[in-house]
Structures are given as structure tokens and as C-alpha cells.
Amino acid sequence: METLSFILFICLFFALVPLLFKTSLSHPLPFSSQSATFHQPQSAKLNSHSIMAHFSNSVKLKYVKLGYQYLVNHITTLILIPLILGIFIELLHLGPDEFHKLWNSLHLHPVQIVCSSFLIIMIFTVYFMSKPRTVFLVDYACFEPPVTCRVPFATFMEHSRLILKNNPKSVEFQMRILERSGLGEETCLPPAIHYIPPKPTMEAARGEAQLVIFSAMESLFRKTGLKPKDIDILIVNCSLFSPTPSLSAMVINKYKLRSNIKSFNLSGMGCSAGLISIDLARDLLQIHLNSNAVVVSTEIITPNYYQGNERAMLLPNCLFRMGGAAILLSNRKSESSRAKYRLVHVVRTHKGSDDKAFRCVFEEEDKEGKVGISLSKDLMAIAGEALKSNITTMGPLVLPASEQLLFLFTLIGRKIFNPRWKPYIPDFKQAFEHFCIHAGGRAVIDELQKNLQLSAEHVEASRMTLHRFGNTSSSSLWYELNYIESKGRMKRGDRVWQIAFGSGFKCNSAVWKCNRSIETPFDGPWSDCIHSYPVHIPEIVKL
């Protein structure tokens, strides 16, 4: 009976805690600098007492929540330790005769002991054989565009006026987008786009691909000491430029890679293709023992600069810029000591079965026959739905038990007691120390910051990457990760959540755990400017 009462008490406690949190969230602290005056009327004094009462309650609820989180997240330890100590104390109280009688009462036969031992060994063998192999991220390198490729706002708008001189409304539209884009003055476009008019030839596109990919590969070889002959798996992803021979073949030819290399070339998969490549590499490393996999993520801008007048197709011109990254993954145990990260989870969500989601990022011809990428007005709503599906799968894998229970009991409360209760948004800050949100645009970062209730520091890497390098498609996540490292914020045991969106429509996530505290790098894309970041990014930059 006592046990039943205890269980009922615990259930009641867990059911009431979400209500307390919801009450505190629905009554935010009405504190402002104006209330801190010396001469206040009576109403102001009462208001200050009300403020202090709210503040006191919020502090109490903070400690209640911390206590609740500690209790639930360590419930197994808190139960098992007293139980083990109790058994150990009871055994100490037994005399030699009583202990001997207890041992004899077990009636253990030698055959039973042998069979039990064999069964235990077999279970452990099956467990360790079926356990996935650990995939390490040894290191990575990001392409740093040359200074000659930089496109300040004034240069971009001057070129737009000359290219679209017959359509001033399109020029004005691009100017408004650029003013609100969150991009800075140092983003880069490939040399072919600097011509007036641009020269998006196949030769120029190959030249950009060679510049970006080979530069990133050379940096990776230099940082890791990797030799081309040591590469067992090669994956290259580039969404819009897919020549023949492929980009992966171009890399093999350049570095004379082995004839038995497993090579893959992914195209048409959008800005989230980088994490798809990581997922593919992980699956291949589960099969091929003692192997190294190199993933190259980039987007070639040269052949995809739109020169028409459709506004939905002009938008990518304002956001996309040069960029690329090369990543070394390995399942070799010898790499565990120097590897930066360990891959924990990859979660992929695809909404392509829905027609609106399928067409929200679409490559097509305009009325004049000019090819461009059309971005739908429903893009943010579709991205939100994809994100919701992705974090629904990700949540149970990474969230502590305290957050899962709060979400569960709030859901039950909405179903049974009051449907008007706001759904409890899990606190992903308890599961991750760092967030790398795809720098697709200011609206994308704003929306995720709001929905996941992240602080300005959590999205700092994404905003600064967008400001310094623009939308570099699938490689943007690696510029963000390098920003965190360059700030000296990555410590051993820290967890990183990479989130990316892509055409189709897809939302993909990867979770990494830091193997060792990472020293501030002296090279890389942020080495010459990290001291000046973070910078203030105004809502509108008047051009």
C-alpha cells in the first residue's frame, strides 16, 4: 500500500511540474529600466512589489526545475546506489557460517556454471559484434576565397544595374533583398560572374570547381598528413553542377587515387547534401573495416547565376556565394586519439511526397527560356514542417529524460484536461552545447532561433558565417563549426547539432561529440578576421 501511494505521489508531481512551468512562461517578467527610478508614485511602488514577487517566484521555479531535472536524469543512479549499498552492508553482517549456508543453498552444479558462463560470453559476443562501429571526424578544411573574388554591395548592385538595365524593378528588388539579407561586404563570387555580362561557360564552371575543391583538399592533406593513396572512400556533393566526367572523377584524376576506391558523386540534393554525404560515408564505414572516407561538399555558382527578370529566381543571386569543405572520416581505432569529433547520430527527413514541398525549391526555365532556381513563398512554412518532423525523431535520441517526461505529460494534459495549453517545447540546450544552423538566409536562422528558444550566442556562428561568407550551400555548416573552434569555445565532451535544409524538400541533422578540447586554429577561413567578430548586423543596411 505504501509503495502504491509513493508511485501515485510521483505521478502527481510529474503532472503538476509542467503546469508550474507553463504558468511561469505565460507570465513573463515585466522588468524594464524605466521601473528603476528613485521617486515613484504609490502605483509604481505596488508595481515594484509585484515585480519582486514575480522575480522571487521565477527564481524558485528555476531551482524547482533544476532539482526536477537532476532527479529524473539521475533516477537510476539514485535508486541503484542505495540498493547496492544496502545489499553490501547486509552481506558484511553475515558470519562465515551463514555465508557458507547461503552459498550452499544456491545448489550450483559445475555443469550449470559452465553453461551459464558460455551463455553470458555468447550474449556479450553478439552484442559487441552487432554494435555499430565508431566513426571519427579526424579533421576538416574549408575553402577560403581569394580577395579578388570579393563582391561588396556597391559592386553587386552596379553589376545588377548593367545586366538588368531594361528592368529597373528587378534591380530595386535585388537591392531590397540585399539590404535585409544579413550578408556582409566580403562575400565572394567566382571570376566568371564578375564579367559584364557574366560568362557562365562549362570551362569557367570547371575552373571554379577545381579552385574550390582542390584548395580544400590540399588544406586537408596538410592538416591531417593524409596521403592520396590512403583514401578508401570518396564522396563529392554538388547540387547544381554535374558535369561528365563527374567531380569525383576529377578529384581521382588530379590526385591519382587508387583504382579500387569507392567513389560517389551526389547532385541535385540541395543545401542539405553535405549531411547526406556524411550519412552515406557512415554506412560505408560500417562495412569497410580500417578505412578512410573523404567527403567534399560544395556548390558551383558559375553556371547558375540567373540573368532574367523573375523575382523568385533573382533571390538566389543575392544569397549564394563561393564556398566548399573537405572532411576526413575514419573508422580506424588508431585515429581515435587525434580525431576532433565522434559521429553520434544522423537523422534524415524527406517531405518529397507532398507536391508543395517538392516544388518549393525548383530549377526551371522562365518565360524567356532562362534557367534559374525558383524559391516558393511557402518555403519557410514547409521548412518548419520538415524541421518539426526531424526533431520529433531526434528528440528521443538526445533529450534527457526530464525533458521527455515534461513533453509527454504536457501532451497528455492537453488531450485530457485542457486543449488550450501551449505545447511544451523541449529545451534542446540541455542536449547540445553548440548549434550549427544552415546559413541559408536571415529568415531561416531567425525562425529556428525562435522555435528552438535559442540564445543569440547559440546562433552566433550561423549569423556570422552568413555575414562573412554568405550562403555557401552544403558547406556552410563547416564554416560555422570552424567559427566556434576559432573562438576557442569547443571543449572535450561538447555536443554539436548540425541542421540543414535542402530541395526536395529535406531537413537533415547530424550530432557530433567532441573528443578533445580543440585549440584555436591559426589557419583556416576565419584566421584573418575572427578578432573582429561577432559584429552587429542591422535589420536593414541602406544601400
Active site residue: 438, 458, 507, 508, which one?
A: 438
At residue 167, what is the residue type?
A: N
Q: Is 369 left (phi over 0), alpha (psi -120 to 50) or beta?
A: left
**Helix, strand or coil for residue 371?**
strand
Cα–Cα distance for residue pair 106/161, rounded to 1 Å = 91
Q: Number of C-alpha atoms within 13 angstroms, CB side, residue 331?
A: 17
Residue 104 bears catalytic tag: no
Residue 350 bears catalytic tag: yes
Is the Cβ–Cβ distance between 29 and 54 less than 8 Å?
A: yes
- 264 beta partners: 235
Task: Please name the residue that has the C-alpha cell 547486509.
Answer: 90
Is the Cβ–Cβ distance between 157 and 174 less than 8 Å?
A: yes
**Helix, strand or coil for residue 484?**
helix
Active site residue: 350, 360, 482, 515, which one?
A: 350
Active site residue: 317, 390, 471, 515, which one?
A: 471
Active site residue: 188, 238, 271, 360, which one?
A: 271
Active site residue: 304, 434, 458, 514, which one?
A: 434
Residue 39 bears catalytic tag: no
CA distances from 514 to 292, 327, 495 (A): 19, 15, 6
Residue 194 bears catalytic tag: no
Is the Cβ–Cβ distance between 300 and 503 less than 8 Å?
A: no
Q: Cα-flanking dihedrals φ and ψ of residue 70, to 5°?
A: -65, -40
**Helix, strand or coil for residue 500?**
strand
Going across the sheet that includes 136-142, the strands are 262-266, 233-237, 292-298, 324-330, 136-142, 341-350, 506-514, 495-502, 434-437
Residue 458 bears catalytic tag: no
Angle at 438 between CA 436 and CA 444, to 5 degrees: 115
Active site residue: 317, 467, 482, 508, which one?
A: 467
User: Which residues, 6 or more positions from 439, have their beta carbon under 8 angstroms from its beta carbon?
Assistant: 445, 462, 463, 465, 466, 469, 470, 471, 472, 476, 479, 480
The H or E element containing residue 507 is strand 506-514
User: Which residues, 6 or more positions from 374, have their beta carbon under 8 angstroms from its beta carbon?
Assistant: 310, 312, 313, 361, 362, 363, 364
Residue 467 bears catalytic tag: yes
C-alpha cell at 363: 530549377
Verify cis geometry, omega within 30 degrees of 0, for the bond prior to 534.
Answer: yes
Q: Which residues are catalytic?
A: 271, 350, 434, 438, 467, 471
